Amino acid sequence: MSFAHTHPWLDEVSRKAEDIRQNSGTQIADRIVADLYANAEEIAHKVVTKGTNNSIWDRKLDDILTSRLFGYPIMIALLGMIFWLTITGANYPSDLLAALFSKLEEQLAWFFGLVGSPDWLHGVLVLGLFKGLACVVSVMLPPMAIFFPLFTLLEDLGYLPRVAFNLDNIFKKCGACGKQALTMCMGFGCNAAGVVSCRIIDSPRERLMAILTNNFVPCNGRFPILIAVGTIFIAGVLPFAFPTVIAAGVVTAMVILGFIITFGTSWLLSRTLLKGEPSSMVLELPPYRIPQVGPVIYRSMIDRTIFVLRRAVIMAAPAGALTWILANLYAGDLSIIAHAAAWLQPLGHAIGLDGFILLAFILGLPANEIVIPILLMMYLSTGQMIDFSSLEELGKVLIHNGWTWLTAVNMMLFTLLHWPCATTLLTAYKESGSKKWTAMAFIIPTVTAFLICYVFTQTVRFVGML
């Protein structure tokens, strides 16, 4: 018995297959391709939607905010507006806090007198420790309470990723990553927070580069110095009616300079200590959305403002006590602080400052907010940190102690570029896990600050502008 006879259906299949092969092979191939395209089109209809009005507006906004023509001017304008709002809005609450702490200081002095405590204990705990804390809180809290929510609103709006997109090309040319722009934005509030935010950068090399250069963004503790000096010596002498606008412009110019130095330092690091190819940044531009004001204020106040303030207070308290001790310990006719300032005077003069200014920055290592109070204490020989009731009074004290426009410009440059505070250095060590790179985070900005101030000062003196 044959196999074909046992299975007659095989003959039928063979005949149909032969007919298809001879007569309609090309038609079947066409049908297969057509079915593939039909299935693809069906899937596309299910998962792809046409642009809504919102997405169309998003594209139109992105055409403006990320364009080469308008992108950078808009960034600078927004930055200047935020600084102006911060400067204008922080004055009144800062004065209220300063008055409150002044009354608390009087009560503490009354209590120490009531219990008969020795003068040195009152000096260390009240005139040193408490006054240092008061300076930090009254100077730092109001600007942070305004600055952080404003930046968080921009973040919630979806604008900060556009900033990173705009700067990505520049960072790539410097051998860095465009996400570093976001970490720099965090550094405006606190450089320690900026260092922590470097975790968003995937490449270890580029993450380390962002940690080493984050200090070139002025933090909230350095803004009061830039604002005060810029208002007194620049906005105060220019014939304009809006000093707060000029002060905001000066701070914005300092920030732009900080960005430029960040680019230059990143370029140098990528070709020396941190050689390597820049990674490609895949950055999703989220849709624009109306910020949720309540959650934004809560998140910025609790997660950022209070967190940063707590760390600054912890570092500033012992610094205030140490400053009082050094100002009230004498070797001969001069205090320890006066001897140290005299020793630093030649170096300070070479970079357009003086020994007292350099010593104030050294003692202000725990927190930049106490630099000006320490400087005033040394200038006025009060033996305790003091506040100034107005910028006019501060200006008179500084001019009386030999300040010129060259001193003021170098003060702003050194404020912008000098070593990180102790909190930022500690954070850099935790994030990098290396003493070597933590030391580099201190050395790089320190060398940069001294070099730029020295070159600027010697150039001005050489051409006879002073």
pLDDT at 209: 93
Whether residue 115 is contained in a domain is answered as yes
pLDDT at 48 over 70: no
Residue 281 belongs to domain spanning: 74-463
How confident is the model over 196-233, as pLDDT tens digits? 888 888 888 999 999 999 999 988 778 878 888 888 88
**CB 206: neighbour CB atoms within 10 A?**
25
Nearest Cα to 417, choosing from 386, 385, 443, 388? 443
pLDDT at 49: 56
pLDDT at 153 over 70: yes
How confident is the model over 95-129, as pLDDT tens digits? 788 888 888 888 988 888 888 888 888 888 888 88
Tokens of 81: 């507006």
pLDDT at 175 over 80: yes
How confident is the model over 381-431, as pLDDT tens digits? 766 666 665 667 778 888 888 899 999 999 999 999 999 988 899 999 999
Amino acid symbol at 56? I
Per the model's pLDDT, the better-predicted residue between 71 and 348 turns out to be: 348
pLDDT at 410: 95
pLDDT category, 438, cuts 50, 70, 90?
A: very high
Instruction: Match 């001017």 to its residue by tokens.
Output: 73
Element spanning 321, H or E: helix 307-328
Q: Give yes or no for a contact between 146 and 284, defined as CB atoms under 8 angstroms apart.
A: no
* Mean pLDDT, range 361-366, rounded to an integer: 88
Number of structural domains in the chain: 1
The rounded distance, in Å, linking the Cα atoms of 271 and 26 is 61
Nearest Cα to 349, choosing from 340, 358, 337? 358
Whether residue 268 is contained in a domain is answered as yes
* Mean pLDDT, range 31-39, rounded to an integer: 70
Mean pLDDT taken over the chain: 81
- DSSP-derived letter for residue 401 is T
Nearest Cα to 146, choosing from 66, 89, 72, 216? 89
pLDDT at 433 over 60: yes
pLDDT at 252 over 60: yes
Whether residue 208 is contained in a domain is answered as yes
* Mean pLDDT, range 441-462, rounded to an integer: 95
Tokens of 389: 């009731």
Whether residue 336 is contained in a domain is answered as yes
Tokens of 328: 């009230």
Whether residue 51 is contained in a domain is answered as no
Whether residue 57 is contained in a domain is answered as no
* Mean pLDDT, range 364-378, rounded to an integer: 82
Whether residue 38 is contained in a domain is answered as no
Least confident of 3-12, 131-140, 226-235, 262-271: 3-12
Whether residue 354 is contained in a domain is answered as yes
Instruction: Match 């609790």 to its residue by tokens.
Output: 302
Tokens of 78: 């927004």
331: three-class secondary structure by DSSP: strand
Q: Give yes or no for a contact between 162 and 62, defined as CB atoms under 8 angstroms apart.
A: yes
